[in-house]
């Protein structure tokens, strides 16, 4: 009766509710080795203006995360797919707010430094060796549950005094040549560095 469970690959509960985005960690080969390209988001954007990020964005319904990472990189850096040597997927990140980010590692080929002014105000590169040799600074934010006004407190033990689980959320920071790389970008990079060798 339950034989189908023998070969089933488990999924995360409520996975279908994830808001999925994908990013590219873009490598550029220079004389001193590989560098990672970062973007500074345009101040015209409504979300995270002026922040440092990888090329990427929200996944469309009819595409895979890999396709999203390539499409967004091409749009933001004004290149074609032939300018990207895709190496493959890295470990994904899931935020406490239900945002899943699927990162991919790729190398930019014959890239001349152009970018879309609508989405990007600046680009810069950092030697991969810097991240391999420099641990990030680590801070923590507290994470707790805040029930809504219409939550049925009368149906749970302790009512309004119910001891909701609390936790901590790690926030990482790198500083390089006046640039502060932090948050999701720093975390995705740090936890995937072991695969970028």
Mean pLDDT of the chain: 93
Place 42 in a pLDDT band, splitting at 50, 70 and 90: confident
Domains and CATH numbers, the chain: 17-195 (3.90.79.10)
Q: 103 vs 25, 67, 94, 114, 163, CA distance in Å?
A: 7, 11, 11, 22, 36
Q: For residue range 109-130, what is the model confidence (pLDDT) as tens digits?
A: 999 999 999 989 999 999 999 9
| C-alpha to C-alpha distance for 76 and 110, rounded to whole angstroms | 16
Query: Which pLDDT belongs to residue 163?
Result: 92
Nearest to 22 by CA among 89, 83, 119, 118: 89
Q: For residue range 53-104, what is the model confidence (pLDDT) as tens digits?
A: 999 999 998 899 999 999 999 999 999 999 999 999 999 999 888 899 999 9
């Amino acid at each position: 009766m339950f034989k189908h469970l023998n070969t089933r690959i488990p999924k995360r509960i409520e996975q279908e509710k994830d808001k999925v985005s994908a990013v590219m960690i873009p490598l550029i080969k220079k004389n001193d080795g590989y560098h990672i390209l970062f973007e500074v988001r345009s101040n015209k954007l409504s979300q995270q203006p002026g922040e440092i990020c990888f090329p990427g964005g929200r996944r469309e319904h009819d595409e895979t995360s890999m396709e999203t990472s390539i499409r967004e990189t091409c749009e933001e850096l004004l290149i074609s797919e032939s300018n990207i040597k895709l190496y493959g997927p890295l470990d994904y990140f899931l935020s406490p707010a239900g945002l899943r980010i699927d990162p991919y590692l790729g190398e930019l080929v014959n890239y001349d430094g152009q970018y879309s002014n609508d989405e990007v105000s600046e680009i810069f590169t950092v030697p991969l060796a810097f991240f391999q040799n420099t641990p990030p600074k680590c801070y923590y934010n507290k994470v707790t549950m805040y029930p809504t006004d219409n939550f049925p407190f009368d149906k749970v033990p302790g009512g309004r005094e119910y001891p909701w689980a609390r936790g901590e959320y790690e926030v990482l920071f790198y500083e390089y040549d006046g640039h502060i790389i932090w948050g999701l970008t720093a975390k995705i990079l740090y936890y995937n560095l072991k695969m970028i060798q």
